[in-house]
Each structure stands twice: as structure tokens, then as C-alpha cells.
A = this chain, B = another copy of it.
Amino acid sequence: MTSSPTADRPEPAPDDVDRLAGVDLAAEPIFLMARAAALGSSMANRGLAPLGLKVRSYSILAVACSGTGPTQRELGDLLRMRPSQTVAILDELEQRGLVERRTDPRDRRSKTVVPTGPGRELYASAKAAVDRAAETSLGALSPRDREDLARLLRLLAF
């Protein structure tokens, strides 16, 4: 995420953090969110690694596969990254033959991003991997809790 976009490291023994789980900081929503997001991204990165993707490149590929024909600027706004970052990741995805850049006929400054056949295929596998990571990450939550969480996060994220 930004997060994001975070480390992919083994978890410490739970006992170690439990002793500090009662401090004031652990009650602050910003801290809780950052820690939960880091855990989730870490999990997702582990699942995506075999496919040669990370959360960022996966996210771009996912939006490219949405059928909305996003421009690079729109991608950057949604994923919170600078134009130069978007360019770098897109260069890699395009070089791997997963997406293509097409100049928008209505505004020839913009380029829309569309997936290739292999791009769609990889996205399907990648989405499955991310879903599995989410399943692991949200394992402690009931279906009802998951719905609530998604609703609340949507309010915050948009």
C-alpha cells in the first residue's frame, strides 16, 4: 500500500508481540490499519511471487483487466503512485507482453492500458493467489465481520 507495498518477511513468534499488544499505540486506528495492511500485503506478496508479480504490478494488471481502459494518470491516482512509478511498472508489464499502451484518440496525450491474452490469463491466476492470501489473512473473521470490514474500509478508502 501504500502500503504497502510492504515487506515480505517471516512473522515473529506471536508471543513476542503479545506482551506489547496492550500499549496505547495498539489501540490507535492508524496503527492498527497500518499493521493489518502490512500483514495482508506481505501475505499477498508471498502468493504473487511465483507469478513474477507484486501488489503494485498486480494492481495495475487488475485494473487493466477491468474493461474500463484506465489511463496512466487514473492508475496512478487510484494506486497512489507518481507518474514515474506508473511508467516503470508499466514498462515491465508491457515488456513481458501482459499489457499494451494505446494512445487515446480523443486526447492524444493520454495512454490507456489494456491487457493482452497472456495478461488476462496471468491475472486470473494472480487473482486466485490474492484471494487465497485474503482468505488466510481474514481467517479469524466471520462472514458477517468480513462484510462489515469491507464496508468500513470502502468508506475510508474512497
Q: Which 10 A-B pairs have the closest CB atoms?
A: A1-B34, A2-B38, A3-B3, A2-B6, A37-B37, A23-B66, A32-B153, A12-B77, A36-B156, A25-B62
Contact of A157 with B36 in the complex, beta carbons under 8 Å? yes
* Contact residues of A between 120 and 158, Cβ < 8 Å to B: 127, 130-131, 133-134, 137-138, 140-141, 145-146, 148-150, 152-158
Q: Complex: how many Å from CA A113 to CA B53? A: 39
Residues of A within 8 A of B (CB): 1-7, 9, 12-14, 16-21, 23-44, 55, 59, 62-63, 65-66, 68, 70, 73-78, 80, 82, 127, 130-131, 133-134, 137-138, 140-141, 145-146, 148-150, 152-158
Contact of B74 with A19 in the complex, beta carbons under 8 Å? yes
Nearest residue, chain B, Cβ from A148: B148
Q: Complex: how many Å from CA A140 to CA B154? A: 11
Contact of B34 with A30 in the complex, beta carbons under 8 Å? no
- Residue in A66, A76, A80, A130 with the greatest tally of chain B CB atoms within 10 Å: A80
Q: Which residues of B contact A145 (CB under 8 A)?
A: 152, 155
Q: Of B16, B33, B68, which is within 8 A of A33 by CB?
A: B33
Q: Of B6, B75, B138, which is within 8 A of A1 by CB?
A: B6
